[in-house]
Amino acid sequence: MKPVANIPRIAWAAYGFALAIIVIDQLTKAWVLSGIDASVSQIPDGYLLHEVAPPLFNLTFVLNDGVSFGLFGGGSARWVLSVFSLIVAGVLAVWATRTDRRLLISAIGLVMGGALGNVIDRIRFGGVVDFLDFSGTGLFPWIFNVADSAITVGVVLLILDSLLSERTAKVGAAVEKS
């Protein structure tokens, strides 16, 4: 039987990272949601689930129906953001087949997994389940989740890869001129 597509081995690493992020993200969200008191019929945003290290870190439920920090939420945003995230994940999946840089592959996998983890929430719940609350530090007022963290770390790695590959290209060009 002939393979449908010739996907490079390194691209499979990105897909593996993405799958790991999706699984960890969804398991942590299921764990958090299972801790909500069954007598609560409508879970309010800001519902304190557990004081972990008060006041620095708590588990606090928020259903974010927008993008970062709740911007552009409500109405059809659920579906628009879901489609946008699926397109981004698709573009990243193709990009993974066209690179051989390990740092870039890691970044692609993290962003792809985070985006898809949040899409699952948007489809299931109408918004993204956020619960990691470091607002007590006074430095970071937002509540987020594992998928958001993966996207953030992935973007930082994308920038780092861009800077490193640009530097390598300049060093290579300088060696050729001498």
Residues labelled as active-site residues:
130, 148
Give the strand order in the sheet containing 128-133. 47-53, 57-64, 128-133, 143-144
Neighbours of 178 (CB within 10 A): 4
Of 88, 107, 94, 101, nearest to 10 (Cα)?
101
What is the biggest distance separating any 2 CA atoms in the chain, rounded to whole angstroms? 74
Q: How far is CA 80 from CA 65, 94, 172, in A?
A: 11, 21, 43
Sign of CA dihedral 39, 59, 151, 137: positive
Helices (H), the chain: 9-34, 77-96, 102-125, 146-177
DSSP 70-90: GTT-STTHHHHHHHHHHHHHH
CA 67/CA 44 separation, integer angstroms: 19
